[in-house]
């Protein structure tokens, strides 16, 4: 009988470093939403990947940044919480951005917080820089922190990702699997459905209201014909925002609903009836229930 290994891997880094893209490639399914916006990942979304006889449970943390609002603070607390709970930590740095103030701050925090964990460095988006720049960046980063291993990857194109996954498979502790082998995410389906709709809203609305809305799956009904009826609420902070989300003659909300429904049908492998409703809640950022829905701790947002 083969000895099995299983453990938690935390992906940390600045916003937009490519953590969600890497998670999706590792797991082989779209578990964590990917957009061109920063801060799209709010909850600690886990994906499960198998590599040989090892099970890797990925914790996709929100991007680490300087928090200003309660939601920001709760997100940063969740990110460091995810790293603290993990067996192995992977710091992702964008090759073309190099050592930013944010990267330095994360490395300083690693000195304090990463106790006894193996920390790997993954330099992402390597196709954007020349090899001499890459080598210099690798040297400089390893002088700032004693990384266990360094990987040069392109999460988007897949370069170097297999090597990183194989290394991680040998680093997680020996032990039984933590999840059934066919389970790709421990997120409740209701939250995956909410994240899917929020991704479509973010992509559709661009700059208009990136972080001032949240989506909750209010009801999930299994139909006799095998389809699912999903009712979702979109919370916005102002009446003006409601108008933006609805769009002219309801065009925006219809397009968002159609895109989210199609993706959910593909993900679930069955028909989905998706109903979206927009509600104005000026103080949703201060309501603990909204944080529970996002898998964040409301108290972590206290300054």
Predicted pLDDT at 184: 56
Sign of CA dihedral 109, 113, 119, 125: negative
Q: At which of 171, 206, 236 does a domain end?
A: 171
Residue 45 lies in a domain: yes
159 with 203, same domain? no
* Containing structural domain, residue 220: 189-301
Of the listed ranges 121-135, 153-167, 234-248, the least confidently predicted one is 234-248
106 with 212, same domain? no
What is the distance between the alpha carbons of residues 121 and 86, in angstroms, rounded to a whole number? 15
Task: Convert the pLDDT of each residue in 32-74 to its tens digit.
Answer: 544 444 444 444 556 788 888 998 888 766 666 566 667 667 6
246 with 163, same domain? no
Number of domains in the chain: 2
Predicted pLDDT at 300: 64
Q: Do residues 52 and 169 touch, judged by C-beta distance below 8 A?
A: yes
Give the strands of the sheet with 272-280, arranged side by side.
Answer: 213-222, 228-236, 272-280
Q: C-alpha angle 75/81/83, rounded to 5°?
A: 110
Q: What is the mean pLDDT of residues 126-144?
A: 95
In the chain, % of residues over pLDDT 70: 75
Backbone φ, ψ for residue 146 (5° rounding): -85, 80
Examine the pLDDT at 275 and tell me if it is beyond 90: yes
Residue 207 lies in a domain: yes
Question: What is the chain's mean pLDDT, rounded?
Answer: 82
80 with 109, same domain? yes
What is the distance between the alpha carbons of residues 265 and 271, in angstroms, rounded to a whole number? 6
207 with 287, same domain? yes
Is pTM, for the whole model, over 0.75? no
Element (H, E) at 236: strand 228-236
Task: Convert the pLDDT of each residue in 189-215 to its tens digit.
Answer: 788 888 899 889 988 887 666 457 888
Tokens 């979304």: give the residue.
45
Predicted pLDDT at 21: 86
Q: What is the mean pLDDT of residues 260-268?
A: 88
Give the residue with greater pLDDT, 143 vs 18: 143
146 with 228, same domain? no
């Amino acid at each position: 009988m083969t000895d099995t290994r299983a453990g938690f891997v935390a992906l940390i880094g600045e916003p937009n470093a490519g953590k969600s893209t890497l998670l999706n490639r590792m797991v082989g399914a779209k578990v964590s939403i990917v957009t061109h916006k920063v801060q799209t990942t709010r909850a600690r979304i886990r994906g499960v990947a198998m590599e040989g006889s090892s099970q890797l449970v990925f914790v996709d943390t929100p991007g680490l940044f300087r928090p200003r609002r309660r939601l920001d603070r709760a997100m940063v607390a969740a990110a460091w919480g995810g790293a603290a709970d993990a067996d192995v930590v992977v710091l992702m740095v964008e090759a073309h951005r190099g050592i930013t103030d944010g990267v330095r701050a994360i490395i300083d925090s690693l000195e304090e917080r990463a106790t006894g964990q193996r920390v790997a460095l993954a330099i992402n988006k390597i196709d954007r820089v020349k090899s001499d720049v890459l080598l210099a960046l690798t040297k400089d980063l390893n002088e700032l922190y004693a990384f266990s291993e360094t990987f040069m990857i392109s999460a988007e194109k897949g370069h170097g990702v297999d090597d990183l996954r194989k290394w991680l498979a040998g680093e997680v502790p020996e032990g039984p699997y933590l999840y059934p082998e066919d389970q790709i995410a421990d997120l409740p389906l209701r939250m995956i459905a909410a994240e899917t709709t929020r991704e479509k809203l973010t992509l559709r609305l661009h700059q208009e209201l990136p972080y001032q809305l949240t989506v909750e799956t209010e009801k999930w009904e299994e139909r006799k014909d095998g389809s699912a009826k999903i009712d979702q609420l979109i919370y916005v902070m102002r009446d003006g925002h409601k108008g933006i989300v609805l769009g002219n003659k309801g065009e925006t909300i219809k397009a968002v609903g159609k895109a989210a429904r199609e993706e959910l049908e593909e993900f679930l492998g069955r028909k989905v009836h998706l109903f979206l409703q927009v509600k104005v809640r000026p103080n949703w950022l201060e309501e603990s229930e909204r944080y529970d829905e996002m898998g964040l701790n409301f108290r972590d947002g206290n300054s």
